[in-house]
Structure 1
Amino acid sequence: MTATTHTLPRQSLAHEPGLPVMPSLGVVAPPVPGRRRLSSQALLGNEREVEIEHSGQIYRLRLTSLGKLILTK
């Protein structure tokens, strides 16, 4: 049995009413039902970097000058 993946072209999503759009990043997809979604603003607040502890390890989530997120160990 083979898995089938369906994707929608970005341009068709850009015209859908109600979808949030961030000009620098393109279209933001709607949340997947049952999956929790957090905004980067909720994680970072007014900071550009936060530490996340996972299984006894410390990770850094950093916002770059270009608005990208980088997660490092």
Structure 2
Amino acid sequence: MNNTAAPGPVKTPGLSIPRYTSEQLFAGARELIIQHAGAEYRLRLTSQGKLILTK
């Protein structure tokens, strides 16, 4: 059976902080842009599976 996760935050009982998997954020890409307070930040997934956030 193919069980795919629905998009959106993962619900964690007892916690009110939304939680997303990196797979949900990247959606198959290796890089994404986060806009915050008028600035753009680049979040990259390295070949070793680590995350790098740069302004």
The alignment's TM-score, normalised by the length of structure 2, stands at 0.71
Q: Give the distance between the partners of 2:52 and 2:35, measured in 1 at CA.
A: 15
Q: Give the distance between the partners of 2:35 and 2:17, measured in 1 at CA.
A: 21
Given that 1:31 and 1:37 are in contact with CA atoms closer than 8 Å, whether structure 2 keeps it comes out as no
Rg: which structure is higher? Answer: 1
* Structure 2 residue 22 is matched with structure 1 residue 47: no
User: Among 19, 42, 48, which residue is 1:60 paired with?
Assistant: 42
Q: Give the distance between the partners of 1:31 and 1:60, measured in 2 at CA.
A: 30
Identity of aligned residues (%): 52
Q: What's the offset of the Cα at 1:32?
A: 6.3
Structure 1: runs of 5 or more not aligned: 1-29
Deviations 1:12-48 (A, max 9, x none): xxxxxxxxxxxxxxxxxx7761111011111101100
Q: Tell me how many residue pairs correspond in the alignment.
A: 44
**Cα RMSD over matched residues?**
1.7
